[in-house]
């Protein structure tokens, strides 16, 4: 069942939308913690998001930009704002469509199905998915997913970039400066500890799928992938 996430602080509207969408066979999750929208997104990995603009703490434009760092799933803005500039802002911040309130639920469903067809169905651009493999490890950069055996874990965009560099460079070292350049456009404002934190997260992702000590620190140079799981499978 395909998942749809609703980010709307008016619970009556969110519940109304959710119940209508569920009639068409979708699984709906309504965000309730508006300071942890990305946590909910990464947890459920929805196929499409309905996103309000006026939200507590951070607006919908902000959350759309955060989503675009890790996913290309369709984002449809739903807002009481009717100005042309609001629609321009929605698109420029990564949105795919815009619906104004009050709305007809049938139009919302038509737009959802249209975006789903474009992203995943008959109108989707067909291309062979890239998969990088090493001794039973499968890495899907477009899916932001790492898989080993029957265990899989979702990745952030930065985790994906690091793992991609490690796999492509194996058995060579992925240099610290090369990783910094790939991960951040302006290295002048990046503390070296930031890379260390992201490397730690990558190590944790390997552990989540049952692989220990997969990333080796090469002092003074960078990091290298260690195929520690080859012996375990032998």
3-120 homologous superfamily: Response regulator (3.40.50.2300)
Residue 12 reports pLDDT greater than 70: yes
Domain 132-233 adopts which CATH fold?
Answer: Arc Repressor Mutant, subunit A (1.10.10)
C-alpha angle 216-42-205 in degrees, rounded to nearest 5: 15
CB-neighbour burial class of residue 34 (10 A; exposed 0-12, middle 13-18, buried 19+): middle
**Could you tell me the pTM of the whole model?**
0.56
What confidence score (pLDDT) does residue 191 get?
Answer: 61
Residue 199 in tokens: 């490397």
Q: What is the pLDDT of residues 171-218, one digit of tens each?
A: 999 998 888 887 765 444 456 677 888 899 999 999 999 999 999 999
Residue 120 confidence class, pLDDT cut points 50, 70, 90: confident
Q: In what order do the strands lie in the sheet with 75-79?
A: 27-30, 3-7, 48-51, 75-79, 97-100
Which sequence spans correspond to the domains of the chain? 3-120, 132-233
Q: Are strands 222-225 and 215-218 parallel, antiparallel or unpaired?
A: antiparallel
What confidence score (pLDDT) does residue 61 get?
Answer: 93
Residue 138 confidence class, pLDDT cut points 50, 70, 90: very high
């Amino acid at each position: 069942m395909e998942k749809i996430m609703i980010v709307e602080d008016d619970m009556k509207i969110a519940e109304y939308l959710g119940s209508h969408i569920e009639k068409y066979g979708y699984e709906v999750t309504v965000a309730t913690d508006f300071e942890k929208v990305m946590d909910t997104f990464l947890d459920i990995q929805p196929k499409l998001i309905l996103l309000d603009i006026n939200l507590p703490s951070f607006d919908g434009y902000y959350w759309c930009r955060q989503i675009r760092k890790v996913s290309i799933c369709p984002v449809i803005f739903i807002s009481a704002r009717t100005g042309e500039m609001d629609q321009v802002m929605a698109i420029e911040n990564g949105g795919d469509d815009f619906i104004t309130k009050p709305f007809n639920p049938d139009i919302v469903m038509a737009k959802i199905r249209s975006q789903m067809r474009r992203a995943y169905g008959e109108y989707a651009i067909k291309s062979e998915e890239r998969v990088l493999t090493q001794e039973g490890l499968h890495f899907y950069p477009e899916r932001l997913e790492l898989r080993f055996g029957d265990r899989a874990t979702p990745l952030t965009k930065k985790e994906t970039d690091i793992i991609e560099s490690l796999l492509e460079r194996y058995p060579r070292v992925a240099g610290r400066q090369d990783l910094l350049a790939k991960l951040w456009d302006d290295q002048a404002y990046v503390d070296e500890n930031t890379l260390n934190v992201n490397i730690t997260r990558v190590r944790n992702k390997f552990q989540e799928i049952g692989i220990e000590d997969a990333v080796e620190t090469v002092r003074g140079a960078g990091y290298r992938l260690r195929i520690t799981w080859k012996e375990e499978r032998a």
